[in-house]
Amino acid sequence: MNQKENFLKGFFKENAVFTLLLGMCPTLGVTSSAINGLGMGLATTFVLVMSNIVVSLVKDMIPDKVRIPAFIVIIASFVTVVELLMQAYLPSLFESLGLFIPLIVVNCVVLGRAEAFASKNNPLSSMIDGLGMGLGFAMALTMLGSVREFLGSGKIFDMVVFPEQYGMLVFVLAPGAFIALAYLIAIIDKLKKA
């Protein structure tokens, strides 16, 4: 598989949210707005790229018995970096995402790419894979957040599209995440088959 195909698979063929249905906790938990979805997606992308690079560099030094715990420590280190940077420079987004930032450590998208791809490939391929999968994840979270914010409050990225009193509150609440995600998955699945 060439680098371009490796990059693009995270957007379409192996999108974590719409195809593989991985990482549902942050997907459903933080996407009440487009900015939250984008923020979580970019944070996850950073962790994916950096952890994939490091895992691919140290893969031969890690004994098989401690491979997964070692990957988790590597991932947790980059999550800590993201959390501290976000807390320092984007405090409102940090407050909004809350507990979901540390949960990136156990996000199966990140750990899965470290195990399935980075531990078997070179640093450049691993970086491209992490970037593609991460940006595909960010795209999915931003799409879901945009749909929920638009239908729930009449805004997208806090820009008013229609008056808030015409919004459907259910889409800003937890049930709206399931409803919006189900419709987006159905639409994307239909487009893939067309």
> pLDDT over 90 for what percent of the chain?
75
Query: What pLDDT was estimated at residue 192?
Result: 84
Cα distances (angstroms) measured from residue 37 to each of 90, 139, 194: 14, 8, 28
Q: What is the pLDDT of residues 132-144, one digit of tens each?
A: 999 999 999 999 9
Indicate the pTM of the whole model: 0.93
Q: What are the tens digits of pLDDT across the range 70-90?
A: 999 999 999 999 999 999 999
| Residue of 173, 171, 167, 149 whose CA lies nearest to 159 | 149
* Structural contact between residues 166 and 154, judged by C-beta atoms closer than 8 angstroms: yes
Residue 149 φ then ψ, to 5°: -65, -40
Q: 162: how many CB neighbours lie within 10 A of its CB? A: 11
- Residue 68, burial from CB neighbour count under 10 angstroms (0-12, 13-18, 19+): middle
CA R_g for the chain: 17
